[in-house]
Amino acid sequence: MSEVVVTRTIPEAAVAVLREVAEVRVCDQDRPLTPDELHAAVRGADGVVAMLHDRIDAELVDAAGENLKVVANVAVGYDNVDVPAVTGRGVAVTNTPGVLTDATADLAFGLLLSVTRRLGEGERLLRSRTPWNFHLGFMLGTGLQGKTLGVVGLGDIGQAVARRARAFGMHIAYTGRRRAAQEIEAELDARYLSHDELLRTADVLSLHCPLTDDTRHLIDDAALAAMKPTAILVNTSRGPVVDEKALARALAEGQIAGAALDVFEQEPQVEPGLLELDNVAIAPHLGSATTETRTAMAELAARNVAAVLAGQPPLTPVTA
């Protein structure tokens, strides 16, 4: 019988899908595996269900051996996978698009509201038992109505965030490698702008692009200097899209007004300068963190593995 290795615990419903087609071995440690541990764990496996912190490359394929047929990444992003190296060895790579769109968009907008309405700051004040009293100038934030949301990457999640922004009365502008379909632009009344023009235009800049060589540190000192001093940066994509040290400097010096971050360059570490600032709302990579969404992600990964082991095409393949 085939063997599938799961590199970290996943919902039992997904494990049940795998058990229908293979013997399943779940690595139940409460931390990411080291590279050596990962390579030892996958030895002899026909399929691997991997997490976004697992490096999937030629070395892993070598460690697994000739039986390996599929690696299912439990994430929509796959910057942890050397796709050409793995697929070039005849191993299928899959991801989990679609199922986490709404959860991530909800989280992005929740973080945006937290920083613009100073919710985290207010909670910290109350929990510290600092005396306070209501008056008309107390902890003023800023509204979103009539402001422009700039979306970097108008894919499924970017569109979902834009729809939520429209419900708040915001205008939509976006940039990306290509223009969105006309019907999407029409639905969102979205303007396509160059990257530089979007930086100058957006009141809120929300990042929804994959991490690639081109997008690493897309938001750096120069980009932050080009933004409005009243602008808010939101990142729920991948941490290294933003130069965190540059962002901490820009926020401390008032180059931009605030930031809302769910992802970080060196997870689980966070740039210390960001932790000192009240104009930053942060969360520990919670974009897909609902019971329903994480279960759906794991089940989709499991169905991908099951399909490949049954000699069928994967449901959501990633190609080089």
Which residues are known to be catalytic? Answer: 238, 267, 285
Rounded distance, CA 305 to CA 4, Å? 8
- Contact assessment for residue 246 and residue 259, using Cβ atoms and an 8 Å cutoff: no
Rounded distance, CA 10 to CA 7, Å? 9
Rounded distance, CA 60 to CA 132, Å? 56
Rounded distance, CA 249 to CA 272, Å? 11
3-state secondary structure at position 257: coil
Comparing C-alpha atoms, which of 54, 92, 12 is closest to residue 305? 92
